[in-house]
């Protein structure tokens, strides 16, 4: 079945460090791919998305490229801030369903000053 695998956390970085959170997926058909973020005490917020191969989603300095050949959608940011501390979820939109999202396990990011 369709699934998403994320790198395990927590990821601990110093402010201004480079961030990569790996995400790979398994899907039949052509899913859309998403990164959601959950700040402490808050709900899930869409960070970025890509709907077809080679698309790059970007927002707030984060970016991810839909790589069909490697079935990946890795999240990157060039210089993280303390305010980026949160849990990041990679997800795919099941192409066989009614826009159903399948989530990865989430990766907790902690950024220290």
Binding-site ranges for other proteins (CB under 8 A) = 30-32, 36, 42-46, 49, 51, 89, 91, 93-95, 97-106
Q: Sign of torsion, CA 91 54 24 99?
A: positive
Q: Which of residues 49 and 74 has its CB atom nearest to other proteins in the complex?
A: 49
Q: Which of residues 18 and 39 has its CB atom nearest to other proteins in the complex?
A: 39
Q: How far is the CB of 27 from other proteins (least distance, A)?
A: 10
Q: How far is the CB of 32 from other proteins (least distance, A)?
A: 3
Q: How far is the CB of 31 from other proteins (least distance, A)?
A: 7
- In the block, which residue shows the tokens 């399948």? 102
DSSP notation for 8-52 = -S-EEEETT--EEE-EEEE-SS--EEEEEEE-TT--EEEEEEE-S
Q: Which of residues 41 and 113 has its CB atom nearest to other proteins in the complex?
A: 41
In contact, 58 and 68? CB cutoff 8 Å: no
């Amino acid at each position: 079945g369709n699934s998403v695998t994320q790198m395990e956390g927590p990821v601990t970085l110093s402010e201004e460090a480079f961030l990569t959170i790996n995400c790979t997926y398994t899907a039949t058909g052509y899913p859309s791919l998403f990164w959601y973020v959950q700040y402490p005490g808050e709900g899930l917020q869409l960070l970025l998305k890509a709907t077809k191969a080679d698309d790059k989603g970007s927002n707030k300095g984060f970016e991810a490229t839909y790589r069909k050949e490697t079935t990946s959608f890795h999240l990157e940011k060039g210089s993280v801030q303390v305010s980026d501390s949160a849990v990041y979820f990679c997800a795919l939109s099941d192409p066989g369903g009614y826009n159903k999202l399948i989530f990865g396990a989430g990766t907790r990011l902690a950024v220290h000053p």
